[in-house]
Structure 1
Amino acid sequence: MNERTPRFRRGGRPRKTDSEKRRLLIAARVRPDELAIIEGRAAEANFPLSDFLREQALTGVIIVRRSRRLSPIDRHDLARIGSNLNQIARACNTTGDTFRARHIEATLEELRGLLRRIDAPG
């Protein structure tokens, strides 16, 4: 077949356009046991390894595990609130004074606000 051969007579796969070509490469380091697992999953899915990895990277689900740590400011606020609650409780137990017990509710509301801040995502 030469250049004069009509296009419909040419055999083989049509050429890809520049936008269809995949030229970039992503590399990842894995242990031999991890590679075996990935290759097994690709084989189960009946995908070539590169297609399997690309599909997983584009559409797969990753479970993000985050451990939320308190900032130093939050730790200080929490310690201060706990100290206030302890002082109020000690005073109420010692004197039997219910007036001070009412302040516990305000302190608890402050604590609840801090806990909401800690539980807030991100």
Structure 2
Amino acid sequence: MNELARARRPMSYDTGPCEGWQASPSNPTKAAKRHLTETVVLRCTAEEKKQLKRCASEANITASELLRATLGLVKPSRKRVAPKADPRLVSELSRIGSNLNQIARAVNATQAAGEGRRLDGLLIVEQLTTIERQLGELLKQHQSSETADAD
């Protein structure tokens, strides 16, 4: 057999491709998507329509989802609002993460080549300490800018 062992799919999953709206065999608890084929026309005043749209937008859902939830036809799901992040913070974290990935890649490649004893542990610890310090400084800068913005 080849030196690189290949993973095989369990036989129970060999029932066909897992594409489209159907639930994945590896996640059988996920329900299949319902097809919405019927339309309901609702007559209301302009003010009622505004109120319906406003309530739906406050809940961060569509008017249809709001009506279904109000009637108890579906469980209302909470949609998490994406947190606002400072683009500079995200960029800096990305750069530090790239450095960490390069270190991990070098360590893994050296170990895979069977040369683990040639790794310079002191150099690796030094690099990781540098990354830890950078993260600490970045956190301090971000916290100080948040408190300055709050004032």
TM-score (norm 2): 0.32
Which structure: larger Rg? 1
Whichever structure has more helix as a proportion of its residues is 1
Structure showing greater relative contact order (alpha-carbon pairs closer than 8 Å, 6 or more residues apart): 1
TM-score (norm 1): 0.38
